[in-house]
Structure 1
Amino acid sequence: MITKTIISAITLSGCLLANAEASGCPDQYPDGVVPVVRNPPASWNNLIELCAPHGGFVDGYSPVLRVPLYAVEHLTREHIIEHQRNHEGRTDSFRPDDRLTHDQRAELGDYKRSGYDRGHMAPDADSWDEASEYDTFVLSNMVPQAPDNNRELHAHIEGAVRHLAKQDGELYVYTGPVFQGDTQYLHRRVAIPSGIFKLVYDPRTHEASAYLENNVNGPQGQTYTVITPARLTELTGIDFLPGIQTKPLDLPVPRDSGSFGHSRKHGFF
């Protein structure tokens, strides 16, 4: 059973989030509005906002579950072009987040021989230089992710969203875990999600929809549904776009080839 963690101190690089409390990196949210926690278990309260040192994303981090409940990116065409121009291959630099105490954070040993990948929520491939890529490799930006899902479908969804951002100019992208049923843990410390979501919001058209994936290996880890922001709030207890009225966004279908179709055949749930 999860018990509530009392946070006695937060470093200057992190702050407690409480509904509409001011953000330390408001440019990462549409109109500077932080997601609002509506109806989570009591032990999920006191999320810590962890702003990436070089910009690009922010994590709403649970020190109880030791995973982010969401990562938010302001994904722009310019960043994607810079990544494509400058990227010479990924440099792994997985590490615990030294902005957090040992009791608050995941450690490398929690994932060792677990059978789960250290799954980025804000992807390293959305970075635009070495510094911003390095920022993505802290464990506070990761969840235990089934390898088949992480390396195949999820990676293709990330690519589809980058394609859409490059096409449209800018997007706000929210990625995080879904917990349904009995939650299991790595070493009784790091919560393993049952699913992964990626919510995409277009600030020009006020359109938004989310991919919802199963966090499992095998064929079930290669399927997804498209859901509304309201349905995502029901599943997670978090209102990611408080006060913003949205219309459905036609999300691109992830493809290996880099050419993307449309998602209408999947419907909305």
Structure 2
Amino acid sequence: MRNHHTTFLCVVTGISCFFLGAILQQHVSIRNIKNIMNVDPYIFNCRRKLLFALALLGEKRKTGVSFTPIEPQCKDVDSVLGCTLFWFRLQCYKVFSFFFLNIKADEEQPKLSSSHLADIMKYGFPGLDDIRVYKSFVLSYDRRHRIAHWVCEHLRAECITTPLASDAPTKPSRGDQSIPVMFRATTQDYKYSDFVEGHLAAPNNYSCDTVQYNESFLLSNIVPQNRIMKNYVWQRLEEYVRQLTLKSGSVYVYSGPLYMPHRINFRNWAVRFTVIGMNTVAVPTHFFKVIISEHKNPGALPYMEGYVVPNAAVDKEIDLRSFLSDIRDIEHFAGLKFYEGVRRSMFNRP
């Protein structure tokens, strides 16, 4: 009889230790993912898949990435044994969390803390090629063309309304030292060309912070633009985004280049574009802006719209609404996917 009791106790002890060890390992793994994803955009982008894979003792919330203990749902279980296992699983988690993880039994596990990267990339990454994170924006760099694939920024009304200090140390356009020299554009590439330096993330969006303002002059954020288009249509579009920010308080903007095809004969199309400088910096045929304006009223749907502007001399007084474009067309020609993981029915459209 004693042998049976000893065997039973050994089995129970082994199962309990394994179960508690799994809980501890889950907690440590989730904590490490939280720390890493704040600085690594690739980990941040696939955080939901990683956390879902670690959801051994918790279930994923539909509205976020936090985890809560599984509540026993006896009505969904076919047997009494299944319901009992649910209850036992929950109680073990609460006891272990209270004594070892310093989490009260009646409280939810804390949500993932918001980070700088999470704030800017709230609506997802359009692409994951050579991601670079700055204080004012996040961009994907195109090493072949020496310009960005896309730039994402989060504009706030309080930053736009704050003027840049008159004695603030500003810096001119300069190469991005974080990019390898062989893939980096320089100011000399623009010096003797027919195009001027245009910004994807506009400097005037960051007058509240000198560091953010100066970051916008990195050549990784600069593209070759037609002078007339930049000085009139593109600047008016940037001003429209700022006015929209003042109205709504929070606006997310994706900007980037497009290389649009044109017909060369009845059956064939071609993509042709100019390059400038010794570093062969590509001159896009068009530029896009995808705008997401959040509503001040809680629960209201955000408003989104997209613009495509040709990189050529256009009428200075042309209505900006004439450049409105379907988001799917921008995705098709840019090779990007906006609002990854977000239902498009969650947005209002023009």
One fold, TM greater than 0.5?
yes
Higher strand share: 1
Q: Which residue of 2 aligns with 1:27?
A: 119
Describe the shift of the 1:122–1:129 C-alpha distance in structure 2 as closer, same or farther (beyond 3 A): same
Q: Which residue of 2 aligns with 1:214?
A: 310
Higher helix share: 2
Match of 1:48 among 114, 120, 130: 130
The answer to whether the Cα contact below 8 Å between 1:62 and 1:68 also exists between their aligned partners in 2 is: yes
Deviations 1:133-186 (A, max 9, x none): 111001000111001011111001100110001100101101111112212211
- Name the CA distance, whole Å, in 2 between partners of 1:154 and 1:103: 30
Describe the shift of the 1:16–1:170 C-alpha distance in structure 2 as closer, same or farther (beyond 3 A): closer
Instruction: Return 5+ residue gaps in structure 1 as ranges.
Output: 1-13, 38-46, 251-269
User: Which amino acid letter does the alignment assign opposite residue 194 of structure 2?
Assistant: G
- Name the CA distance, whole Å, in 2 between partners of 1:51 and 1:215: 27
How many residues were matched structurally?
Answer: 223
Taking only the aligned residue pairs, the percentage that are identical comes to 23
- Name the CA distance, whole Å, in 2 between partners of 1:63 and 1:18: 22
Describe the shift of the 1:100–1:16 C-alpha distance in structure 2 as closer, same or farther (beyond 3 A): farther
Q: Which residue of 2 aligns with 1:241?
A: 339
Describe the shift of the 1:162–1:220 C-alpha distance in structure 2 as closer, same or farther (beyond 3 A): closer
The answer to whether the Cα contact below 8 Å between 2:233 and 2:316 also exists between their aligned partners in 1 is: no
User: Which amino acid letter does the alignment assign opposite residue 74 of structure 1?
Assistant: H
Following TM superposition, by how much is the alpha carbon of 1:206 offset from its aligned partner in structure 2, in angstroms? 3.1
- Name the CA distance, whole Å, in 1 between partners of 2:274 and 2:253: 27
CA RMSD in angstroms, aligned pairs only: 2.8
- Name the CA distance, whole Å, in 1 between partners of 2:325 and 2:167: 33
User: Which amino acid letter does the alignment assign opposite residue 143 of structure 2?
Assistant: P
SS in 2 for 1:72: strand
Q: Which residue of 2 aligns with 1:191?
A: 282
Q: Which has the larger radius of gyration?
A: 2
The answer to whether the Cα contact below 8 Å between 1:28 and 1:72 also exists between their aligned partners in 2 is: yes
- Name the CA distance, whole Å, in 1 between partners of 2:172 and 2:158: 24
- Name the CA distance, whole Å, in 2 between partners of 1:155 and 1:209: 17
User: Which amino acid letter does the alignment assign opposite residue 109 of structure 1?
Assistant: Q
Describe the shift of the 1:78–1:16 C-alpha distance in structure 2 as closer, same or farther (beyond 3 A): closer
The answer to whether the Cα contact below 8 Å between 2:41 and 2:117 also exists between their aligned partners in 1 is: no
Q: Which residue of 2 aligns with 1:254?
A: none
Q: Which residue of 2 aligns with 1:9?
A: none
Instruction: Return 5+ residue gaps in structure 2 as ranges.
Output: 1-38, 48-114, 261-270, 296-300
Q: Which residue of 2 aligns with 1:200?
A: 291
SS in 2 for 1:238: coil
The answer to whether the Cα contact below 8 Å between 1:176 and 1:197 also exists between their aligned partners in 2 is: yes
In the alignment, structure 1 residue 174 sits paired with structure 2 residue 232: no
Following TM superposition, by how much is the alpha carbon of 1:215 offset from its aligned partner in structure 2, in angstroms? 0.4
Following TM superposition, by how much is the alpha carbon of 1:202 offset from its aligned partner in structure 2, in angstroms? 2.4
Alignment of 1:4-83 (within 5 A): 20-21=45-46, 25-31=117-123, 33-36=124-127, 47-52=129-134, 55-82=135-162
- Name the CA distance, whole Å, in 2 between partners of 1:230 and 1:19: 25
The answer to whether the Cα contact below 8 Å between 1:96 and 1:107 also exists between their aligned partners in 2 is: yes
User: Which amino acid letter does the alignment assign opposite residue 212 of structure 1?
Assistant: V
SS in 2 for 1:115: coil
- Name the CA distance, whole Å, in 1 between partners of 2:285 and 2:158: 34
Alignment of 1:92-241 (within 5 A): 93-127=172-206, 128-180=208-260, 181-187=271-277, 189-204=280-295, 205-219=301-315, 224-241=322-339
Deviations 1:172-224 (A, max 9, x none): 10111111221221136211100111110124423211111110124399564
- Name the CA distance, whole Å, in 1 between partners of 2:317 and 2:285: 10
User: Which amino acid letter does the alignment assign opposite residue 186 of structure 1?
Assistant: I
Following TM superposition, by how much is the alpha carbon of 1:29 offset from its aligned partner in structure 2, in angstroms? 1.1
The answer to whether the Cα contact below 8 Å between 1:145 and 1:192 also exists between their aligned partners in 2 is: yes
- Name the CA distance, whole Å, in 2 between partners of 1:89 and 1:149: 31
* TM-score, scaled to structure 2: 0.58
